[in-house]
Amino acid sequence: MTVVYNLDQIKSAIDFESLIASQEAGFVAYSEGRVDVPPVGYLGFPEVRGDCHIKYGRILGSDYFVIKVATGFYDNPSLSLSVGSGLMLVFSQRNGRLEGVLLDEGFLTDMRTAVAGAIAAKYLAPKQVQRIGIVGTGVQARMQLDMLKQETDCREAVVWGRDRAKATEYAEEMSAKGFSVEAVDGIRNLAATCNLIVTTTPSREPLLLASDIRPGTHITAVGADAEGKQELDPDIFAKADIVAADSRSQCIDHGDISHGVRSEVIDPTTLIELGELIKNRNLGRTSGNQITVADLTGVAVQDIQIATMVFENLQFKHAKG
Amino acid sequence: MTVVYNLDQIKSAIDFESLIASQEAGFVAYSEGRVDVPPVGYLGFPEVRGDCHIKYGRILGSDYFVIKVATGFYDNPSLSLSVGSGLMLVFSQRNGRLEGVLLDEGFLTDMRTAVAGAIAAKYLAPKQVQRIGIVGTGVQARMQLDMLKQETDCREAVVWGRDRAKATEYAEEMSAKGFSVEAVDGIRNLAATCNLIVTTTPSREPLLLASDIRPGTHITAVGADAEGKQELDPDIFAKADIVAADSRSQCIDHGDISHGVRSEVIDPTTLIELGELIKNRNLGRTSGNQITVADLTGVAVQDIQIATMVFENLQFKHAKG
């Protein structure tokens, strides 16, 4: 029997501990080569600036495989609709039966992306986070900061956005969630006081400059998930002691890291993967002065793991009545 | 709002006239190049002889796009489960919203495959069908014969299967559906009295021989949907006056036609597509003595059209209350 769950049910099934444990296990499986993730399926709708991506795969030997469909229709706001939508499908690896339909409307993708930021901070952020700097004012800007509550006690944040009004709105909204947030003009002013920075924009040119980065800073770059996107000055990689990638091959292909590789400031053999870092914490930050960078492009194993975790939690609730 | 429909609701939403009209329109759109159908996604489960195919695409400028997931797990019968399963997803081409989830468990794929057989018969079968010959005893053997009711008055049928007991069971079952069905030993005996033959097996070697085919016979070959499969003696193509393909490129790649092309009994430039035949009936049978063949490998536009039709019918019912 296929069970269909809606967004409210899905939200009720997330607890942070299972989430981080399952996501970490997923990154480890990915780095150990224990996943089968075929190429992403794509359908384009140029006439309405829309696209549809189908990401799917499995961790070998686990119970379920997952297919995720994500759409992005960039003219939707003019129709009073959000840009993104989608769902996740959970199938049995034993008999191919469709077990669960998660009508998450893109929420689980946002959530797994935000958790990856928290995981990067867990292994790479300095022990004493002075202030958290958020570049961008969208959904990920909100979720990344919110999720960092789980990995640091710091509640001081600074936000920068191209649109000052949106940054102010962001500051007000996140202040209500327990942070003290200041909106600043100029990313330089953000980098000057923050030693944990998360960039969350769809920028196509460097926003954060190497000259602005202080020793001891960790940067998580979330925005560059496709060719042509870029948030970091490639010279940041030259200054960095540790550069981590969610997927080495993918970050070299189209992450912020790709720009560093192309300008030859990154030696690809020095890159470490998040899954390697999780397995061996010694690969992470070892001193308060190091500069570290995590480049997150998004991998299907994150979808596989969050869908499986949510589905299993919902089944368990269901069984308990 | 996403609406989820189960198998019973889906079955209730099919009427033959809309079905054949929408399938014909789909084949025409395909042959006119008005579709965008990316390569099929694939995930394999060799440890349990399973596979998963993701077929998707759109007719340019229509209201919806469709993603179909179909699984086949060939050890399932030992778990008392059917081999195939799956679902279809209907999305808006305008805003990317998931409009409908059709939990059809593979039924719509069987149905669109059977309708394609009826369409092939509509344009290629002789006016006077003496007897219908069915090769194979599975789901398609049943659905193809049942669907032919819509295109011919003939109710006399002959069935051949490797397993005589299954052929007898088939004959009993289809007799209850208004046919007079005889199970025969040897396909030669079937070809000797039938001038409309449908082959529906997963055979990997020729079953139907050229020497057994009489003038005036139409053959629809449904089984060869992947490399290595074959139901027809390639010399049948040498005898044939008209050879039609659902998809020229696909049939040349892996349909029964591929064996004819490889043995050089088919000149690929003489092939016609079902969509061309539907647009221009003159390309079809013009005399009672012609031998005609339709090779059906299955194209995503069939899935797109059946899912859209069912979804629209269900929405309409819904709206009426």
Q: What is the pLDDT of residue A317?
A: 80
pLDDT tens-digit series, residues B225-253? 888 899 999 999 999 999 999 999 999 99
Q: What is the pLDDT of residue A224?
A: 83
CA-nearest of B123, B161, B110 to B290 is B123
Residue B118 lies in a domain: no
Give the CATH number, domain containing residue A249: 3.40.50.720
Bin B110: left if φ > 0, else alpha if -120 < ψ < 50, else beta.
alpha
Q: What is the largest CA-CA distance in chain A?
A: 58
> Do A176 and A257 belong together in one domain?
yes
Give how far the C-alpha of residue B312 lies from the chain's centroid of Cα atoms, to the nearest Å.
22
Residue B103 lies in a domain: yes
pLDDT tens-digit series, residues B117-128? 999 999 999 999
Distance from C-alpha of B143 to C-alpha of B110, rounded to nearest angstrom? 8
What is the rounded average pLDDT for all residues in chain A? Answer: 96
> Do B288 and B307 belong together in one domain?
no
> Do A250 and A173 belong together in one domain?
yes
The structure tokens 């539907």 sit at B278
CA-based radius of gyration for chain B: 19
**pLDDT greater than 70 at residue A321:** no
Q: Beta A98-102 vs A3-5: how paired, if at all?
A: parallel
> Do A69 and A204 belong together in one domain?
no
Q: Binning pLDDT at 50, 70 and 90, where does residue A177 land?
A: very high
Q: What is the pLDDT of residue A297?
A: 94
> Do B89 and B131 belong together in one domain?
no
Chain A: closest CA distance from residue B274 (Å)? 25
B80 burial (CB, 10 Å; 0-12 / 13-18 / 19+) is: exposed
pLDDT tens-digit series, residues A6-30? 999 999 999 999 999 999 999 999 9
DSSP code per residue over A78-140: GGT--SEEEEEEEEETTT--EEEEE--TTHHHHHHHHHHHHHHHHHHS-SS---EEEE--SHH
Q: What is the pLDDT of residue A1?
A: 83
**pLDDT greater than 80 at residue A107:** yes
- pTM equals 0.93
Chain B: closest CA distance from residue A317 (Å)? 22
- All residues of chain B having their beta carbon less than 8 Å from the beta carbon of residue A87 are 2, 89, 98, 101
**pLDDT greater than 80 at residue A62:** yes
Residue B45 lies in a domain: yes
Residue B113 lies in a domain: no
**pLDDT greater than 80 at residue A320:** no
Give the CATH number, domain containing residue B89: 3.30.1780.10
> Do B264 and B139 belong together in one domain?
yes
pLDDT tens-digit series, residues A145-164? 999 999 999 999 999 999 99
Give the pair of three-digit tokens for residue B202. 């997963």
> Do A252 and A274 belong together in one domain?
yes
Chain B: closest CA distance from residue A8 (Å)? 14
Residue B114 lies in a domain: no
Asked if A165 reaches chain B (Cβ–Cβ under 8 Å), the answer is no
Distance from C-alpha of B119 to C-alpha of B28, rounded to nearest angstrom? 12
Strand partners, A41: A54
What is the rounded average pLDDT for all residues in chain B? Answer: 96
Residue B102 lies in a domain: yes
Give the domain range for residue B237.
Answer: 123-298
How many helices (H) does chain B have, and how many strands (E)? 11, 17
In one-letter notation, the amino acid at residue B17 is: E
Distance from C-alpha of A97 to C-alpha of A311, rounded to nearest angstrom? 14
Domain count, chain A: 2
pLDDT tens-digit series, residues A29-59? 999 999 999 999 999 999 999 999 999 999 9
- All residues of chain A having their beta carbon less than 8 Å from the beta carbon of residue B43 are 36, 38, 56-58, 65
Q: What is the pLDDT of residue B102?
A: 98
CB contact under 8 A, A73 and B95: yes
**pLDDT greater than 70 at residue A314:** yes
**pLDDT greater than 90 at residue A95:** yes
> Do A133 and A227 belong together in one domain?
yes
What ipTM was assigned to the predicted interfaces of this complex?
Answer: 0.91
> Do A95 and A221 belong together in one domain?
no
> Do B101 and B139 belong together in one domain?
no
Residue B43 lies in a domain: yes
**Chain B CA closest to residue A70:** B96
> Do B189 and B289 belong together in one domain?
yes
Q: What is the largest CA-CA distance in chain B?
A: 58
Q: What mean pLDDT do residues A167-183 have? A: 97
DSSP run (H or E) holding B55: strand B50-59
pLDDT tens-digit series, residues A178-220? 999 999 999 999 999 999 999 999 999 999 999 999 999 999 9
> Do B315 and B215 belong together in one domain?
no
Q: Which of A67, A88, A90, A108 to probe the B interface (max B CBs under 10 A)?
A: A67
Q: Binning pLDDT at 50, 70 and 90, where does residue B164 land?
A: very high
**pLDDT greater than 80 at residue B319:** no
Give the pair of three-digit tokens for residue A47. 């006439």
